[in-house]
Structure 1
Amino acid sequence: MSYAFCSTEITGRVLTVTINRPESMNALHPPANAELAEVFDAFAANPDLWVAIITGAGDRAFSAGNDLKYQASGGKMYVPESGFAGLTSRFDLTKPVIAAVNGIAMGGGFEIALACDLIIASDNAVFALPEPKVGLAALAGGLHRLPRQIGQKQAMGMILTGRHVGAEEGKALGFVNEVTPQADLLTRAHAWADMIVACSPTSIRASKEAVYRGLDEPTLEAAYRGQSKYGEINAMFKSPNLIEGPMAFAQKRKPQWTG
């Protein structure tokens, strides 16, 4: 399927989604958001795809966030139910998503990355939530995800100033998993995806669901006792992978996972 504002590529079990508006620093307007929502709807529904990577076209920006020029021109503003880029309000996706951040990730661009499970950043990546500087606020999840991921004081230091944070500082703060030369960015993102694909997909989805739902529980004990009720946990115990994994280990071969 062809798209106007993004491109997709499938490599084995991995879907790579590239935001394709380099002339606008990959900023997103409503038609682009709607398109990306369709892409991630299809990813969620496809049993043959286990991991997604999202990145931006060109070497200047992952995404500069909301397309302010489109907004200023009077373009009708709306966001799909699944949120900015079809990701920031998608709370039921148990398949992993990796952000491969090349260059600028500002505002909604940073919020897209924060909505992903891993962030692999090029060494020229820059992150910020600068919305207060233009009379807005980071309401696509940034105000909630960033404190949960790096702690309240560090997050408030970014949120209340809109300051720019480079890739290495992002790694030190804890929201970046790896910093790599820009030329190697997608190679490294695919290396992480391949490590995930080597694991049982049912175990990966169960783990992701348990982590995120557990973080919303009031106590560690509540999270521990509640996980037995999670859908992906129950699916893992019913999956053929539960037998295949130990059998492959005993037979000293690679497991043949099913999705």
Structure 2
Amino acid sequence: MSGSNCLVETKAKVCVITINRPPMNTLNRETLHEIGAILDRAEADDDIRAIVLTGAGDRMFSAGADISEFGEWADRERAEQSLGRMHALFNRIEAFSKPVIACLNGSALGGGNELQMACHLAIASANAELGLPEVRLGIMPGYGGTQRLPRLIGRRRALELMLTGERISAQTALAYGLVNRVVPQEEVREEAFRWAYRLAAGAPLAMKAILGAVYRGGDASLEEGLRAERENLLSVIHTEDAAEGISAFFSKRTPNFQGR
């Protein structure tokens, strides 16, 4: 499954995608296409139950868009098509039916930060910095940052980061709610894998239902969100996994979920 820009391996039902364009792991067109193709295969493979997305090396998760491709954006139509593809991919990650964990082995800047924001969970290295510095280039975030960042950390903090282009430390990102956990750099991959293995051992249909309800309800009214919750709960409550989970609870044993 590996391509020229991404390395892929599967460990205990976890698909690990490594952006392999050191030292900056920039997101050129081919890299994003590879990520999309890998997700296609991972979603269709019932043996894969969680995704870890990380970068090569220990300096940079991703520095974002490949600036060398910006010349192609002189054509407005091509630029709009390119942005549409980026939005579609990042929306796909956010709506993915299996948990996606961003393992920030290093800094996440620009599009790299927007990529990790689209993931469901994020584990950051203590040496990582996060930011959206596009304003310093005379442009603005374009891979979803203006929409996801305020939803994650609040409007005023998001505007401060986007209008100044300043970076924040991993610890500040944790305090803001931009990442879930910060660990020493040498432990970040191990911690991300630990989370992924735990999720991969869980109930896949229930996790799909939770992810779907949260995604559908995120921008909806409370009433619409509760409708999504009801529908998704009813879709899993009579599954074999639900019966197994309840049986295991009363038997005081570890459940063996099969995704049925």
Specify if TM > 0.5. Answer: yes
Q: Do structure 1's residue 107 and structure 2's residue 110 form an aligned pair?
A: yes
Aligned match of 1:21: 21
TM-score between both structures, scaled by the size of structure 1: 0.90
User: Do the aligned residues in 1 keep the contact of 2:216 with 2:228 (CA within 8 Å)?
Assistant: no
Aligned match of 2:70: 71
Q: Do structure 1's residue 257 and structure 2's residue 257 form an aligned pair?
A: yes
The aligned amino acid for 1:117 is H
Q: Give ranges in structure 1 of 5+ residues lacking alignment.
A: none
Aligned match of 2:180: 177
What secondary structure, in the 3-state scheme, does the structure 2 residue paired with 1:27 have? coil
Q: Do structure 1's residue 118 and structure 2's residue 117 form an aligned pair?
A: no
Aligned match of 2:49: 50
Q: Do structure 1's residue 208 and structure 2's residue 203 form an aligned pair?
A: no
What aligned pairs does 1:30-179 form with structure 2 within 5 A after superposition?
30-72=29-71, 79=82, 83=86, 87-90=89-92, 91-179=94-182
What secondary structure, in the 3-state scheme, does the structure 2 residue paired with 1:88 have? helix
Q: Counterparts of 1:157 and 1:80 in 2: how far apart (Å)?
A: 24
Shift of residue 82, structure 1, vs aligned partner: 5.8
Q: Counterparts of 1:248 and 1:15 in 2: how far apart (Å)?
A: 27
What secondary structure, in the 3-state scheme, does the structure 2 residue paired with 1:179 have? strand
Which has the larger displacement, 75-84 or 133-142?
A: 75-84
Per-residue CA distance 1:182-221 (angstroms, 9 max, x = gap): 1111100011112322321111111111122122212x23
Q: Counterparts of 2:228 and 2:6 in 1: how far apart (Å)?
A: 39
Shift of residue 74, structure 1, vs aligned partner: 8.6
Aligned match of 2:192: 189
More helix, by proportion:
2
Aligned match of 2:3: 3
The aligned amino acid for 2:21 is R
User: Do the aligned residues in 1 keep the contact of 2:95 with 2:215 (CA within 8 Å)?
Assistant: no
Q: Counterparts of 2:104 and 2:148 in 1: how far apart (Å)?
A: 17
User: Do the aligned residues in 1 keep the contact of 2:95 with 2:211 (CA within 8 Å)?
Assistant: no
What secondary structure, in the 3-state scheme, does the structure 2 residue paired with 1:189 have? helix
Q: Counterparts of 2:254 and 2:73 in 1: how far apart (Å)?
A: 56
User: Do the aligned residues in 2 keep the contact of 1:123 with 1:181 (CA within 8 Å)?
Assistant: yes
Aligned match of 1:222: 224
The aligned amino acid for 1:245 is G
Change (3 A) 1:237 1:71: same
Change (3 A) 1:246 1:94: same
What secondary structure, in the 3-state scheme, does the structure 1 residue paired with 2:51 have? strand
Q: Counterparts of 2:6 and 2:58 in 1: how far apart (Å)?
A: 15
Q: Percent identity?
A: 38
Change (3 A) 1:104 1:16: same
Aligned pairs, number: 254
Shift of residue 72, structure 1, vs aligned partner: 4.5
Q: Give ranges in structure 2 of 5+ residues lacking alignment.
A: none
The aligned amino acid for 1:164 is R
Per-residue CA distance 1:45-85 (angstroms, 9 max, x = gap): 2111111000000111000000112435899876486637x
What aligned pairs does 1:233-244 form with structure 2 within 5 A after superposition?
233-244=233-244
Change (3 A) 1:247 1:80: farther
User: Do the aligned residues in 2 keep the contact of 1:40 with 1:87 (CA within 8 Å)?
Assistant: no
The aligned amino acid for 1:147 is P
Q: Counterparts of 1:114 and 1:186 in 2: how far apart (Å)?
A: 18
Change (3 A) 1:116 1:82: farther
